[in-house]
Amino acid sequence: MANTNPTIVTAAALVVGVLGAFGALNSYNVSNNYSEQFPDAYGGGVAQVRFAPLLERVPPAATLGYFTDIQPSQKAYESAFLAAQYAVAPRVLVMVDAKTRPEWAVGNFSRPQDFAAAGAAHGYGTTADLGNGVVLFHRGAQ
């Protein structure tokens, strides 16, 4: 049977209004906790700082090879690549392998190591250590 009582309507409307505001507060709390826990969740912000020196050295239309010391099985592998790709766009990053070896390549390293040896393993020589684990390589410049 349909309700005809204005008091019930008023109560329901006010309950929905108040709960709506509390729902928004809850969403804010969830968002706040997530933001505190995961600032720059996928490394896009850090990547833009790390790869900034590269932008002056490589033209926007370039296709760059990419290799890293992060293993494909690691969770950070994909996000590190995508963050790097976003940071250097409109340049394109392609994974260096036996078939794909562009003239220039960038190394994205998670810790200090022998960058020259890492480049040589892929057939590239070091052109510039740009800091923060970002190294520019050139094919055949060993």
Partner 1 sequence: MGIAVVVLSIVAGWFLARALTAGAWAGPRWASLLVEVSLGALIGPGLASVLFFVVAVAGAAGRGGALAAVALVLAVGAGVWWKFTPAVEAAPPASKGFPWAWALWICVGVGLVFLVMDFQTASSANPSGEWDAMSIWNLRARYVASGGELWHRALSSEIGGNLGGAQHPGYPLFLSGFLATAWSAEGAFDQVVPISVSLVFAMGALILLGASVACRKSVALGLLAWSVLLASEVFASQAAVQYSDLLQGFAFLATVVLLDVAADREEPRLWIAVGLAAGLACWIKNEGIPFTIAALAVAAWKSPKRGWVWIALGAAPGLVALAALKLMAQGREGVFPETVGEAVQKIAGAGRWWQAALGFGKAVYDAGNPWTHPVVLLVVLAMALGWVPAAERRARWWLWIPVAVTAAAEYGLYLVTTADLDWHISTSVSRLVAQLWPSLIWLVLVMLRTPEEFFAAPAAVGESKPAARKQGRRVH
Q: Number of helices (H) and strands (E), helices first, in the chain?
A: 5, 5
Q: By CB under 8 A, which span of 18-26, 103-111, 113-121, 124-132 interacts with partner 1?
A: 18-26
110 touching partner 1, by CB under 8 A: no
Residue from the set 27, 110, 113, 142 that interacts with partner 1 by CB under 8 A: 27
Q: Select from 58-66, 102-110, 114-122, 130-138 the region that touches partner 1 (CB under 8 A).
A: 58-66
Length of the chain, in residues: 142
Is residue 49 within 8 Å of residue 86, measured between CB atoms? no
Quickly count: other Cβ atoms within 10 Å of residue 109's Cβ: 18
What percentage of the chain's residues is helix, strand, coil (to nearest 5)? 45, 20, 35
**Nearest distance from C-beta of residue 5 to partner 1, angstroms:** 8
- Stretch binding partner 1 (CB under 8 A), from 82-90, 115-123, 124-132, 134-142: 82-90
Contacts of 68 (CB under 8 A, 6+ apart): 77, 80, 81, 107, 108, 109, 110
Residues of this chain that bind partner 1 (CB under 8 A): 2-6, 8-28, 30-32, 34-36, 38-42, 44-45, 48, 60-61, 63, 66, 78-79, 81-83, 85-86, 89-90, 92-95
